[in-house]
Amino acid sequence: MSPRPARRRVAVVGTGAIVTGGHLPALRAHADRTELVAAVDVDPGRLDAFRAEAGGDIAGYTSMGAMLDAVRPHLVLIGTPPSLHREQTVAALKAGAWVLCEKPLCLSLAEYDDIAAAEEASGAYASVVFQHRYGSGAAHARDLIASGELGAPLVAHCQTTWHRDAAYYAVPWRGRWATEGGGPTMGHGIHQYDLLLHLLGPWAEVRAMASRLVHDTESEDVSTALVRFANGALATVVNSVLSPDEVSRVRVDCADATVELTHLYGHRNDDWTYTPARHVAPERAAAWRTPAADVPSSHTAQLGAVLDAWDAGARPPGSGPQARATLEFAAALYKAAFTGQPVLAGEIAPGDPFHSVMHGDHPDWTPEERA
């Protein structure tokens, strides 16, 4: 057997809650394969606090460019506000580093094209954090659906009904197209419908609605969609920040079984249930039980998958076509909602206003119209 590759030198960009609460534990869990060597934050006080919490000899920088020049990391973890993601991801790729970036990877399909070009030029890869795809429960469900063991997928429901108050939107970059890219369609529900796409495969058509019902934001605070998948399945998708009883749910009704996931911000095996159709023999349904190993959805699980791909010399999951497909779905939902017309997969190409910005310069939704 060939020896395990050396530990990858890792830098984090942004040292807020998602990095301390998600990425730092993931790095600690994979300490045999990674070494945190640098951190970047524009706030020196927050940077120093993170370095103290992380421990070890971690260099601190207030400039990402200075960090890349000095440290030359193998992997960069990005946890900054969304408007910075494209620029920082491209910079890391140009420096030869792989990237694992918080969602959304960027704010438009046009920005994604910039990232794809940087990947092509550098040979490095950029993955987006969609940790709900990872963990034993999600892997098991996808295998059962993809293999046909549950029968053909027919009907699905995807629900992100969360609650965010006015104080949440008092943060300057939230609820604005230029800094967040959209409302709950881009910033909240994207995790659940990414998982839905992961389970059911390519989508074919989207019809949608969106509205501002409560919050004084540029973007929506609720959206709904009807989706036709390439395999013929029909689905509903709800993205809300107006719902006092918070829940995240994905349900897929197949010909032989219903598989359902109910959770909030993360799931384990016990959060998945399988209900067999009446005609299914008990012994067949018993084989659908979730696996004995219980790996929760997490940054730890996704970082492990990225490192496994690196060791294998393969494109990491959550990058390339996978990352683009989820972003394209978001753009299609917005286009369908704002124009009132169905949107087909592949329709939003360069020259389409929804390719360059998620609001598509629609007169009811552009920031200029609400100034």
pLDDT at 5: 57
Spatial neighbors of 346 by CB under 8 A, at least 6 apart, are: none
Residues of the chain short of pLDDT 50, as ranges, are: 1-2, 369-371
Single-letter code of the amino acid located at 204: A
Could you report the per-residue pLDDT of 211-257, keeping only the tens digit for each? 999 999 999 999 999 999 999 999 999 999 999 999 999 999 999 99
Who contacts 248 (Cβ-Cβ below 8 Å, separation ≥6)? Answer: 159, 160, 161, 162, 191, 192, 261, 262, 263, 264, 265
Query: Could you tell me which residues come within 8 angstroms of residue 59 by beta carbon, excluding any fewer than 6 positions away?
Result: 37, 38, 39, 67, 70, 71
Query: What was the pLDDT predicted at 3?
Result: 54
Task: Return the amino acid letter for 335.
Answer: K
- The pLDDT assigned to 371 comes to 40
Residue 370 confidence (pLDDT): 46
N-term to C-term CA, the chain: 63
Q: Say how far apart CA 277 and CA 80 lie, in whole Å.
A: 45
pTM confidence score: 0.95
pLDDT at 24: 98
